[in-house]
C-alpha cells in the first residue's frame, strides 16, 4: 500500500464531543481517494453522519483565534463520544453547536428558541 502524504489527505468529517462543548471540535482526516476496496469506518461514520471509508486520523481543533481547548485527548474520551452518537443524530448536534457558537459571537443566548426575536433601532 502506498504511504500517504499531506497532498493525499483531506478532512472527511467534523464532529463535536459528548459533553456539549461548542468552542472546539474533532476533525477526522482520511485519504482523498479511497485506496482500493476500503471498508466503511463505522466509528467515523457514526460520529459524522457521513459514510467514511478506510482509516482516519482524529485531531482536536477550534475556530481561528480560539485556543481554550486541550489538543490532546484520551482514547476513552473518543470512545465516549462515539457512544454518545449511538443515540444522537450527528447532524442535529452539529447544527445546535454551530448555532451556539454563532449566537455567542453576537452576544446572544442560543437557547432563546424559535419565539425569540431581536429589536433593532
Picking from 113, 12, 16, the residue whose alpha carbon sits closest to that of residue 56 is 12
Q: Where are the domains of the chain?
A: 6-105
Give the number of other CB atoms < 10 A from CB of residue 34: 12
Cβ–Cβ under 8 Å, residues 56 and 44: yes
Q: What is the pLDDT of residues 48-103, one digit of tens each?
A: 999 998 889 999 998 777 777 888 999 999 999 999 999 999 999 999 999 998 88
Q: What is the pLDDT of residues 22-48, one digit of tens each?
A: 889 999 998 876 666 678 999 999 999
* 74-78 contacts, C-beta under 8 A, 24 or more apart: 77/17, 78/26
Rounded Cα–Cα distance for residues 63 and 14 (Å): 12
Amino acid at each position: 500500500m502506498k504511504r500517504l502524504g499531506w497532498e493525499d489527505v483531506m478532512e472527511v468529517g467534523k464532529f463535536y464531543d459528548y459533553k456539549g462543548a461548542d468552542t472546539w471540535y474533532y476533525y477526522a482526516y482520511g485519504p482523498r481517494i479511497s485506496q482500493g476496496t476500503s471498508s466503511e469506518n463505522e466509528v467515523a461514520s457514526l460520529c459524522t453522519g457521513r459514510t467514511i471509508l478506510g482509516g482516519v486520523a482524529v485531531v482536536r481543533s477550534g475556530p481561528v483565534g480560539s485556543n481554550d481547548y486541550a489538543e490532546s485527548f484520551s482514547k476513552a474520551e473518543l470512545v465516549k463520544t462515539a457512544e454518545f452518537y449511538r443515540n444522537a443524530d450527528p447532524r442535529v448536534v452539529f447544527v445546535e453547536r454551530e448555532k451556539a457558537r454563532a449566537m455567542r459571537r453576537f452576544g446572544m443566548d442560543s437557547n432563546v428558541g424559535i419565539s425569540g426575536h431581536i429589536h433593532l433601532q
